[in-house]
Amino acid sequence: MIVRSWQKFSWEAHINIWVQGARPRTLPAAIAPVVVATVLAGSDWKPVQALLALIVSLSLQIAVNYSNDYSDGIRGTDDNRIGPVRLTASGLAPAESVKRAAILSFAAASIAGLALAALSSWWVILVGVAAIAAAWGYTGGKNPYGYKGLGEMSVFIFFGVVATMGSYYVQTLEINWVSFAASVPMGSLSCALLAINNIRDRAQDLLVGKRTLAVRLGDRGARNLFIALILSAYIFAALTGRAWSILTLLTLPLAIPVCRKVLMGASGEALIPLLGKTGKLQLAFALIFALALWL
């Protein structure tokens, strides 16, 4: 009986480690653009394509998290990291196992993406290949662009513009201004998640030669960027031309406290809960924005 209880505990603990390694607080960045795009599609929405787009988006987000864990871990840049658990650097999982988890997640995204292309357009495959290359190249390979301050740009493009407009396109087979304007808040809020991470890790990244945008801008500049990203979400929601987009202001009670703490200099472990709150802001913003688009 004791042995069975220990085995159950060990198995649950093992699963929990991998769940933490997937960084669930970042998953709203994958869900939000698909929700907004699906509602924007209106009567043209297609449930199968929407579900496949969600699987692609979630799989890519998890793949990015595992691949970053692996790449940063083997480089040693996560050795003194503050924040969510790092499987490789902490020794909780072998580097090769983390790499395999990333590959499996990329494979899941690829399979769903192929099905999505078959139901919409084969051009979707090229977009998927670019997204996977960007996900791996963020911290992987010999010349990771995330170490050069280009991470936010990539996140904005792939988890904002591509995720939203792509999810809209596979359901409607068209692209328009409204779908682009709707993609900007999704990209901005996804970048805000990364910005929180980079502000938290700025001092350590500077020491190990990881020149993220936060390192390049400096502490004050990085914090101002975070505020600008949050503001741009509200501005571009209004630029969709939908009168009900004013409803997104209902999320200000979530946004203002986070912005205030960032501006007041929250650092280190104090920024960890702000990451979760920024994720909740993105999801709440997306749901209310989707409601506004539907109305």
188 pLDDT higher than 90: yes
**Over 50: is that where the pLDDT of 3 sits?**
no
Whole-number pLDDT of residue 13: 67
Contact in structure between 147 and 212 (CB atoms under 8 Å) = yes
Two structure tokens written together for 244: 């009900």
What is the structure's pLDDT at 71? Answer: 84
79-127 pLDDT, tens digit per residue, is 566 666 778 877 778 889 888 989 999 999 999 999 999 999 999 999 9
Residue 250's contacts (CB-CB under 8 Å, 6 or more residues apart) are 288
Tokens 């769903």 belong to which residue?
112
Tell me: pLDDT of 21 over 80.
no
The reply to whether 35 falls in a domain is yes
Question: Does residue 16 form part of some domain?
Answer: no
Contact 37, 173 (CB under 8 A): no
**Within a domain: residue 212?**
yes
Q: Answer whether 233's CB lies under 8 Å from 188's CB.
A: yes
Percentage above 90 pLDDT, the chain? 48
69 vs 161, residue with greater confidence = 161
Segment of 17-26, 116-125, 138-147 carrying the highest mean pLDDT: 116-125
In a domain, 288, yes or no: yes
Please tell me the predicted confidence (pLDDT) of residue 80: 62
The answer on pLDDT for 6 being more than 80 is no
- Whether residue 211 is contained in a domain is answered as yes
Q: Nearest Cα to 44, choosing from 115, 120, 109?
A: 120
CA dist list (Å): 216 to 198, 219, 220:
11, 9, 11
* pLDDT average, residue stretch 228-247: 91
Quick one: pLDDT band at residue 38, thresholds 50, 70, 90? very high
CA distances to 230, 278, 281, 286 from 256, in Å: 10, 11, 10, 17
Q: Which of 41-55, 70-84, 224-238, 241-255 has the lowest mean pLDDT?
A: 70-84
- Is residue 12 situated within a structural domain? no
Helix (H) or strand (E) holding 62: helix 47-75
Count of other CB atoms within 10 angstroms of residue 193: 25
Residue 2 has pLDDT above 50, yes or no: no
Q: What is the pTM of this model?
A: 0.87
- Is the sign of the CA dihedral 226, 294, 159, 34 positive or negative? positive
Residue 95's contacts (CB-CB under 8 Å, 6 or more residues apart) are 70, 73, 74, 88
Question: Is the per-residue pLDDT at 9 higher than 70?
Answer: no
**Structural domain boundaries enclosing 44:** 29-76+89-294
- Confidence band (pLDDT; 50, 70, 90) for 212? confident
Confidence band (pLDDT; 50, 70, 90) for 14?
low
Residue 82, domain member (yes or no): no
Per-residue model confidence as pLDDT tens digits over 241-270: 888 889 999 999 999 999 999 999 888 888
Using an 8 Å Cβ cutoff, are 160 and 33 in contact?
Answer: yes
Alpha-carbon distance 56 to 65, whole Å?
Answer: 14
Residue 89 token pair: 């650097």
**CATH number of the domain bearing residue 256:** 1.10.600
In a domain, 9, yes or no: no
- Determine the pLDDT at residue 83: 61
pLDDT mean across residues, the chain: 87
Task: Name residue 241's amino acid.
Answer: G
CA dihedral 139, 229, 209, 95 (to 10 degrees): -30
> What's the domain count of the chain?
1
Which has more pLDDT, 270 or 183? 183
